[in-house]
Amino acid sequence: MAAAKSFKTEQIRNVVVLGHGGSGKTTLIDAACFVSGTSARRGRVDDGNALTMTTPEETAHGMSMQLTVAHAVWEGTKVNFLDTPGYMDFAGDAVAAVRAADAAVVAIAGASGVEVGTEMVWELCEQRNLPRIVFVSMMDKKHADFAKALRELKEVLGADALPVQLPVGAGDGFRGVVDLLTGKAHIAKSGADKGEYEEAEVPADMASEAEDWGTELMETLATTDEDLMERYLEGEEIAQEEVVSAMAAAVASGEIVPVFCGSAEQATGVRELLGKMIGVLPHPGQCGAVEATDERGEAVQLRPADDETTSALVFKTSAEPHVGELSIFRVFSGMVANGTDLKNVERNAGERLNHLAIPMAKERVEVDALHAGDIGVVAKLKSTHTNDTLSSPANPVTLPGVAFPKPDISVAVRGAARADEDKLGEALNRLHEEDPTFVAEFNPELRQTIARGLGELHLDVQFERMKRKYGVAVETERPRIAYRETISVQAKGQGRFKKQTGGRGQFGDCWVRLRPLGRGEGYEFVSAIKGGVIPTKYVPSVDRGIQEAAAKGVVAGYPLVDFAAECYDGSYHSVDSSDIAFKVAGSVAFRNVAEKARPVLLEPIVELAVTAPDEYVGDIMGDLNGRSARVLGMEPASGRTTVRAEVAQAELYKYASALRSITQGRGYHRRKFLGYDVVPPVRAAKIKAEAQEGEG
């Protein structure tokens, strides 16, 4: 197959498509690629065959679950679309896509308006100052309301949103869009499948509204440029190219957020959106210097140009049977040609980029070279994984990586059979290399392999992938809780060890005082021995004995923490005393004294932040009360409320599923470990009984 065309930097747009789950992102990209001719067929999300739905897991669940790259070519410009999952369980891929993009299209469902997921992706764009436009999609669906979506953009997101198009009708009556820049209506042609339209006059019942919005659009753009303002006030006609240029500058500076509309399923409005994206959104060369770090750790700035030092960031890794590992990367500076040798600085490894290609969903189209700013894919790199930088060996640099969110949902896993158990560790590691928000490790204290992710669905899907890709099946169970123990009051006592078996014996004798420390202060040992009642060389052995005994606890076998131990008296034998004897004496003293110091169980406490629309707050509060949570406060904001609470970790198993059920999928939560607190007596008795049963 002939190599694909290489596009120059100014001919490239890198656009991440973001939005709440079900807002039409995948359908929009499918339509854009089909309309432009880079995709030969139309797919449907409901049928599981949309262009950027590339895995069996996505087909089975009917949603996008990973970052996928496809491209459209329009008016000589290549638009790299980065499709992202809309559900927060897969937010890591959305964060990676934002890192690789220069601009964003935020999709909003016409009937639903701004949702919880919209707020989250908007914040991602804010963090990177990403220029963005909004596409109000699904205007052909029941209850679609463009005015409501526009109002919520302003009120909920605080966006300086300004319509560039108005819908002609809504729901079953949706027929096209009004272009406020030209003052013409674009009415969809009957039977057309690529968004073809006929230009017409604005419908009479929309004329006044279109004129008002058109005037506001022109006035707003005029205020962004003094020369433009002066000409506008003098009544001079301003060419559309100048208006688009002014809009591009205003979008780049964040002064306005243009709002478009249409129906991606019908492809209505998609041609117009492609044209405006090319005119309004920046190409990589307009996005400023590329920040990097050289081998000495010093900051350097690179130009996003072909004649600069090459630097490329791998922002997504995937592996498929019979293909191997695929590395998707963005060339931030310099050029990459087929067969180029680059250096991975983090791993001090050389890599050759053979069979260089551009990604088109699950397909790869080979290309001779990629210019600065473009996105490519290469298979079977030896040492490179997600977040690694590839750069010129002569002048190696490291680019800032993707700031992936930390996983906070956990489950215990084990191989479903012995053969699965043998391959489990390697399969878990390979999944982590593909998705850094999925981590797994064996916890020796809990004696379980604990897998962590961003949500329960995230974990379930990873295990489905592991079975499909690596043939490893797992069973899951509730993770054990890492309880701790501590003491409540000060106490003192003796530990004595004497053993005589013929010949030299063993003798150690110490008096120890234990006192509680503040939560999280750990362990402290103090020697108060005077007069040599215990030789100095044996005192550290008493300390070691106390620590070893504390690790086994006295209530339910959990480590005892947050206490101070003072060795203040004792005795020794000039012949029979030894390090081991005083170590045993220290452990005996600890057990004797700890049982008198009112030992209690401690459990991990997390701070929970639950965000959902206001109508679900009552149900959320009721559920939290049922989990013995302590509510810290509520933070209302434009129809949504964040409830903050302290909750025992033991009460949060499968909480994500419960919250999804309570809020009909419109709520999400984040957790942060706070520390340990005393377990209530009733639950403490149950935990102690379970521990004793386990010993039996």
pLDDT for res 3: 65
Write down the residue that tokens 């809504």 correspond to.
170
Contact call for residues 627 and 652 (beta carbons, < 8 A): yes
Highest mean pLDDT out of 223-237, 312-326, 398-412 = 398-412
pLDDT for res 409: 87
DSSP 145: -
pLDDT for res 695: 62
CA distances (Å), origin 554, targets 348, 558, 597, 601, 689: 49, 8, 11, 10, 13
| 277 vs 47, more confident | 277
pLDDT, tens digit, 9 for 90 and up, residues 155-189: 888 889 999 999 999 999 999 999 999 999 999 99
Q: Which of 658, 675, 676 is nearest to 667 (CA)?
A: 658
DSSP 53: -
The arithmetic mean of pLDDT across residues 61-73, rounded, is 93
pLDDT, tens digit, 9 for 90 and up, residues 329-364: 999 999 999 999 999 988 999 999 999 999 999 999
Could you give the CA distance from residue 236 to residue 444 in angstroms, rounded to a whole number?
76
Record: fold of 409-477: Alpha-Beta Plaits (3.30.70)
pLDDT exceeds 60 at position 696: no
CATH number of 290-398: 2.40.30.10
pTM recorded for the entire structure:
0.86
Write down the residue that tokens 């996005």 correspond to.
287
pLDDT exceeds 50 at position 245: yes
CATH number of 484-597: 3.30.230.10
Q: Does 602-692 match 12-203+250-286 at the fold level?
A: no
Measured over the CA atoms of residue 233, residue 239, residue 240 and residue 244, the dihedral's sign is negative
Query: How would residue 128 be classed by pLDDT, with cut points 50, 70 and 90?
Result: very high
* CATH value of 602-692 in 3.50.50.60, 3.40.190.10, 1.20.210.10, 3.30.70.240: 3.30.70.240
pLDDT, tens digit, 9 for 90 and up, residues 254-310: 999 999 999 999 999 999 999 999 999 999 999 999 999 998 899 999 999 999 999
pLDDT for res 1: 42
The residues spanned by each domain of the chain are: 12-203+250-286, 290-398, 409-477, 484-597, 602-692
pLDDT for res 170: 95
pLDDT, tens digit, 9 for 90 and up, residues 630-653: 999 999 977 789 999 999 999 998
Could you give the CA distance from residue 496 to residue 584 in angstroms, rounded to a whole number?
8
Give all strands (DSSP E) within 12-55, no chain letters: 12-18
Query: How would residue 216 be classed by pLDDT, with cut points 50, 70 and 90?
Result: very high
Residue 496 C-beta-side C-alpha neighbours within 13 Å:
8
- Name the average pLDDT for the chain: 93
pLDDT exceeds 90 at position 47: no
* Superfamily designation of domain 12-203+250-286: P-loop containing nucleotide triphosphate hydrolases (3.40.50.300)
Q: Which of 401, 416, 405 is nearest to 439 (CA)?
A: 405
The arithmetic mean of pLDDT across residues 74-78, rounded, is 96
